């Protein structure tokens, strides 16, 4: 059997073939909608670019390789990838989902799919009893996000997969915050891994793209049918940019984790900060599970300034100079965000606050700049 390459090599070579025409080291951007046929059906494997495109194939093979999966599928956005997973279901089916998740995911579930009679139970997936209490014959999918956006809660993927497997329920994991460098849910018993590749995978804040990775041939076939029939596919240029991003995923993540640790420890020690949410801190409630299922702890940090005060939080965000206030995360540059009014504004205030997304919460996506510059920036913003 061929020896599996280490992650650092798979990001460069995983699933890749040299271009047969000219030996181009990077796959060409096949900016074409269609492919010539000599006779109906007489083609070289590609007919129409909604169905498939060679640049997308190269990306999909790389995605499968870095997630230790068999099949990768690329979509026009992370939400388009989630949309395809939900289309595996039918009216009346039930889904158990993390109660603390990206606002756009919550909006897709409640404002689109509830209309089509899918029923969502939002529970704290850190509590296995809560999951078990919602499982019944209609339960067809468990949707996990870990670490969660923005509370950085950690769900034990293996423990949830014990429940999903013994009840023949699909388990999907949104692995966006971890990236395949930190965590590979398929190896922990998940059936589907989903990514907003917009974030760490592409890594440069210049592309919107989504991904699904699966092992099952049957799931791949059903998802490809949906991908082609619904048509939310990425263009070849975006596939190329994402593939280029993957090449540096390992080195970028190493620095994101290093900087994340420095900043989380700085915030944790500051008398002006009330609470820090980062799974690498030993007092994080699920630090040991994070340690068990992740290779490191990443560069996403949330915190609440002293006094849990909205005005104070906004002042800090506005005072930051290197951290840019913006939606999104996972790029090389550091970003700050105010989840309550930005990424999670589509969740009703009462529900949002129940999971901890208070008006005083600040979210940081720690980039790969010099860690001391970032700490100095936070220090001046907090002390201002």
Which residues are tagged catalytic? 50, 102, 174, 199
Laid out side by side, the sheet with 362-365 consists of 273-277, 300-305, 362-365, 335-337, 324-325
Task: Give strand pairing partners of 94.
Answer: 119, 139
Integer Cα distance of 39 and 381 in angstroms: 66
Q: To the nearest whole angstrom, how small is the minimum distance from the Cβ of residue 358 to ligand P1T?
A: 17
Residue with tokens 């989903």: 194
Q: How far is the CB of 108 from ligand P1T (least distance, A)?
A: 9
In the DSSP assignment, the letter for residue 325 is: E
Any residues with CB less than 8 A from the CB of 245 and at least 6 apart, and which?
197, 201, 202, 203, 204, 207
In sequence order, which residues have a C-beta less than 8 Å from that of residue 84 and are 6 or more positions away?
Answer: 73, 75, 212, 223, 226, 227, 230, 232
- What is the binding site for ligand P1T (CB under 6 A)? 77-79, 102, 104-105, 145, 149, 174, 176-177, 196, 198, 208, 210, 327-329, 343
Give the residue with the Cβ less far from ligand P1T, 328 or 371: 328
Q: How far is residue 361's CA from residue 302's CA, in Å, rounded to a whole number?
A: 7
Cα Rg of the chain, angstroms: 21
Whether the Cβ atoms of residue 271 and residue 306 lie closer than 8 Å to each other: yes
């Amino acid at each position: 059997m061929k020896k599996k390459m280490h992650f650092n090599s798979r990001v460069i070579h995983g699933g890749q073939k040299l271009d047969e025409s000219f030996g181009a080291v990077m796959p060409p951007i096949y900016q074409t909608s269609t492919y010539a046929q000599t006779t109906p059906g007489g083609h070289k494997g590609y007919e129409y670019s909604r169905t498939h495109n060679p640049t997308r194939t190269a990306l999909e093979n790389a995605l499968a390789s870095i997630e230790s999966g068999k099949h990768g599928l690329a979509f026009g956005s992370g939400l388009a990838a989630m949309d395809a997973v939900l289309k595996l279901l039918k009216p009346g089916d039930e889904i158990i989902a993390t109660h603390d998740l990206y606002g756009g995911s919550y909006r897709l579930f409640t404002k689109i799919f509830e209309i089509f009679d899918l029923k969502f139970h939002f529970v704290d997936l850190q509590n296995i009893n809560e999951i078990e209490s919602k499982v019944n014959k209609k339960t067809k999918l468990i949707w996990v996000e870990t670490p969660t956006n923005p509370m950085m809660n950690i769900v034990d993927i293996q423990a949830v997969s014990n429940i999903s497997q013994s009840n023949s329920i699909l388990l999907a994991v949104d692995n966006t915050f971890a990236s395949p460098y930190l965590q590979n849910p398929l190896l922990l018993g998940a059936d589907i891994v989903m990514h907003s590749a917009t974030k760490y995978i592409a890594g440069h804040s210049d592309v919107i793209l989504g991904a699904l990775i699966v092992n099952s041939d049957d799931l791949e076939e059903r998802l490809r049918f949906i991908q082609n029939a619904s048509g939310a596919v990425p263009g070849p240029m975006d596939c190329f940019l994402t593939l280029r991003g993957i090449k540096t995923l390992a080195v970028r993540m190493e620095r994101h984790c290093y900087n994340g640790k420095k900043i989380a420890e700085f915030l944790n020690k500051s008398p002006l900060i009330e609470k820090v949410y980062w799974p690498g801190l030993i007092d994080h409630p699920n630090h040991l599970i994070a340690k068990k299922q992740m290779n490191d702890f990443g560069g996403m940090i949330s915190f609440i300034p002293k006094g849990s005060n909205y005005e104070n939080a906004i002042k800090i965000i506005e005072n930051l100079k290197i951290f840019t206030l913006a939606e999104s995360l996972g790029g090389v540059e550091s970003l700050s965000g105010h989840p309550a009014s930005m990424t999670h504004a589509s969740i009703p205030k009462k529900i949002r606050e129940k999971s901890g997304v208070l008006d005083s919460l600040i979210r940081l996506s720690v980039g790969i700049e010099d860690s001391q510059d970032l700490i100095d920036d936070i220090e001046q913003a907090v002390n201002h």
